[in-house]
Structures are given as C-alpha cells and as structure tokens.
Amino acid sequence: MIYYNHGKSSYTEVLEWVEKEEIITLFYITDVTGYFYENLDVRNEVFWLVPYEFVPKVPFGKAIRVA
C-alpha cells in the first residue's frame, strides 16, 4: 500500500457539507495545499489545524499550528 503525504485535495465538498448541515465552526486538519471553488461563499468559522512548524497563509479563517 502506498501512502502519500502531500496532495492537492479539494476543500469544496467539505465546505458545502458544512453549509448544508448548518455547522457553525469547522476545525480542518490539513497542510493547506488543497483548493476550493473561488465562487464558494464560506460563511462559517473555519480553523485550519496545521501539523507542521511552518504555517502557510490560509484563504480565510484562522490557521493554528497543532504540533
């Protein structure tokens, strides 16, 4: 089995699900290398939990280093 530790995931499905389920706050564990549709209107509070020393700029919300 091959495990990849770096990729380009889409955040769109999760962000759409959060909106549909009326979730107020999302804690997303990620390396922030993914993408989302630019026309997506994110109204929820998003915390990007980054497991590395380097914390990249996030597109919205707040980045938090967790390791």
pLDDT in tens, 35-55: 877 788 888 999 999 988 888
**Contact at 8 Å (CB) between 36 and 12?**
yes
Residue 22 scores a pLDDT above 60: yes
pTM over 0.85: no
Mean pLDDT, range 8-28, rounded to an integer:
91
For residue 48, what pLDDT is reported? Answer: 94
Both structure tokens of 13:
């499905």
Percent of the chain's residues with pLDDT above 90: 43
Percent of the chain's residues with pLDDT above 70: 88
Question: Whose CA is closest to 32, among 13, 12, 19, 49?
Answer: 49
- From the centroid of its chain, how far is CA 5? 16
Question: Whose CA is closest to 51, among 34, 35, 28?
Answer: 28
